[in-house]
Structure 1
Amino acid sequence: MSARPSDAPPELPIEALMTFLSVARLGRYTAAGEVLGVNHSTVSRRIAALETAMGGRVLVRTAGGWEVTALGRRAVAVAERIERSLRELVEGEGGDLVHSMVRVSAPDAFTSVFLAPAMTALRAEHPSLSVELLSATQRVRQNRSGVDLEIVVGRPQVLRAFATPVCAYALRLYATPAYLADHGAPESVAELSRHPLVYYVESSLQVDELDRALQELPGSPPSLRSTSVFAHVEGAAAGAGIGLLPDFLGDADPRLVRVLDGAYAHPLAYWAVARDEGPRNPAVAATLDAITTYIASVQSAHTTVDAS
């Protein structure tokens, strides 16, 4: 075998290129290593090999994690083409590009009602895809490292990210008929001050929009509070007071009825956020499409039932 001429460009390490693609999508060496089944030092070594071959930095560390440089964006485009070609080589032309793993962070209620069934349908269509769901009700992350897609409450203020609305809903007031019969139904928002409000622990609220909903209401007497939205539902259903609940949970629970319907509602929306490179990942794009498709089907079914 003849030696490579000394003036020839260095060979591009394919393994390093594909490792870089995973880091570009996830923003963290450790997260990429978990997906690829290698340790942090291996990821670091492969990135260094790629930068040596390309003659420059492909990633730069920021406060929000690893970000892709201009040279790195060229590498991402090439890596994506190679990824598609390798998939075709293994599975034949037209092989399934939706594979590997996708990680989604979302609030509990969204995860249970929308995300879990949507991902079940997605995996039925793409069985080579692994899905990890991380439940969290918190502010949008500024780095999104370690997750491919993040579902948050309210319009996010983010940099170097892709964001799109996926579902509108409202916080409304609910109680059991028995509670209202025993304690009286409030006839105005001001009269809520006589009723325990079942909602989040105020000091633990991390989402501004959820806190604003609380500030719109009068002070509550001692009440049951929890960091879990499902505890809010069960507390209201047990007669602990009037629950401030997402309408898609409260309306679906036969134990509850709306309180001050038409007089109070706090409109909100769920948004999906991904790193800039995220939507170019076939698995992330398919995940986002599966979520919006499932939500549209649920809303359509509810519209049909209401119309009948």
Structure 2
Amino acid sequence: MNWDDLRHFLAAARAGQILGAARRMGVSQSTLNRRISALEADLGTRLFERSTSGSALTEAGSRLLKNAERMEAEALRIRAGLAGPDTPLTGTVRIGAPDGFGVAFLAGRIGTFAARHPQLTVQIVPAARNFSLSRREADVAVTVGRPSKGRLRAKKLTDYTLGLYASADYLDRMSTPRTRDDLRNHTLIGYVDDLIFAPQLDFAVDLPVKWQSRIEVSGATGQYEVARAGAGIGILHRFMAEDDPALVQVLPEIVLTRSYWAVWHESHHASRRVRAVVDFLDEAVRDARSCF
């Protein structure tokens, strides 16, 4: 069994489609197809059911995936054991994060990490969604709350707080709410309910008031911009809103607390790239603890 064929199989299994896997590996679609066909011929069984919508694993493919991931983890462990502490990090590492953290916090600091590892390509994917670490949509994901399922490892980064904010212009036009009941007379900004990707983001559950959004945006950065533009009152991250002179906190007694975690697949526990990212994230939030 050829290990290179297995690597191509892993990429296709995680991507769910040949074209996407080929792009991620930097090879042609025909090369990836040839590698998988060679592996299927070697094993004497079909590993994928191919269709126009993608490639689904067969029962044999699902069994092979588990074994291949163990082999990959062992290969990573061997490589990490042979590499000295001064061996430069190379390749690509992808960090998935909620859009608020990824754009407003991490993007402005990732240059420090890149400068420390000049031979490493760093990708940030800031998106209001969950990332599948088993399918390698990210090597490290920053999550809101600790995941409870999957073969994952996690490290808590920090707690963070949210409050109610509006622009000074909006409050001049509509008046500043003095009591929680006053919010009924204001335009409220929140998430699109059916696009909330983590239960911890359903802020209305923990608010001491009834929150009926009239403007709904699926991401934290979008909500921030809507509030900043004077459209209403939003539940915004303190690290995004507190130092913005265009925004004013209202009803400051209303505070919500959530937590960020760094999460990675257990098969990457020996990866020096993953370890370096997790250590950097921990360092970055620790240095900026007061802003959260």
User: How far apart are the structure 1 equivalents of 2:242 and 2:58?
Assistant: 44
Query: Can you list the C-alpha shifts for 1:20-54, whole angstroms capped at 9, x where unaligned?
Result: 79759x94485664454224665576578789999
Query: Can you list the C-alpha shifts for 1:221-243, whole angstroms capped at 9, x where unaligned?
Result: 7x333234333223222322212
User: How far apart are the structure 1 equivalents of 2:108 and 2:145?
Assistant: 22
- Number of the residue aligned with 2:271: 281
Whichever residue aligns with residue 37 of structure 1, its letter is G
1:180-199 map, 5 Å: 180-199=171-190
| 3-state SS of paired residue (1:131) | strand
Query: Can you list the C-alpha shifts for 1:203-235, whole angstroms capped at 9, x where unaligned?
Result: 4333322224367332447x3332343332232
Q: Alignment identity in percent?
A: 29
Structure 1 pair 299–215 and aligned structure 2 pair: CA distance change class (3 A): closer
Displacement of 1:168 after TM fit?
1.6
User: How far apart are the structure 2 equivalents of 1:273 and 1:199?
Assistant: 26
- Number of the residue aligned with 1:6: none
Structure 1: gaps spanning 5 or more residues: 1-11, 55-60, 304-308
Whichever residue aligns with residue 292 of structure 1, its letter is D
- Number of the residue aligned with 1:38: 27
1:60-99 map, 5 Å: 69=66, 73=70, 76-78=73-75, 80-82=77-79, 85=82, 94-96=86-88, 98-99=89-90
Query: Can you list the C-alpha shifts for 1:265-302, whole angstroms capped at 9, x where unaligned?
Result: 121112222211123211111111111111111225x5
Query: Can you list the C-alpha shifts for 1:36-95, whole angstroms capped at 9, x where unaligned?
Result: 4224665576578789999xxxxxx599x968545753563245424765x77xxxx932
User: How far apart are the structure 2 equivalents of 1:214 and 1:144?
Assistant: 31
- Number of the residue aligned with 2:260: 270
Task: State the TM-score, normalized to the length of structure 2.
Answer: 0.76
- Number of the residue aligned with 1:206: 197
Query: Can you list the C-alpha shifts for 1:168-190, whole angstroms capped at 9, x where unaligned?
Result: 21221012334334433223323
Aligned residues: 280
User: How far apart are the structure 2 equivalents of 1:109 and 1:72?
Assistant: 32
Structure 1 pair 175–82 and aligned structure 2 pair: CA distance change class (3 A): closer
User: How far apart are the structure 2 equivalents of 1:22 and 1:44?
Assistant: 13
**Structure 1 stretches of at least 4 aligned residues deviating more than 6 Å after TM superposition:** 47-54
Structure 1 pair 272–105 and aligned structure 2 pair: CA distance change class (3 A): same
- Number of the residue aligned with 1:259: 250
Displacement of 1:126 after TM fit?
0.6
Greater radius of gyration (CA): 1
Structure 2: gaps spanning 5 or more residues: 44-56
Query: Can you list the C-alpha shifts for 1:107-163, whole angstroms capped at 9, x where unaligned?
Result: 211111232234321110111111222222124547443321222222322221122
Contact residue 73 and residue 268 of structure 2 kept, 8 A:
no
User: How far apart are the structure 2 equivalents of 1:34 and 1:80?
Assistant: 26
User: How far apart are the structure 1 equivalents of 2:34 and 2:76?
Assistant: 18
1:297 aligns with 2:282: no
- Number of the residue aligned with 1:226: 217
| 3-state SS of paired residue (2:218) | coil
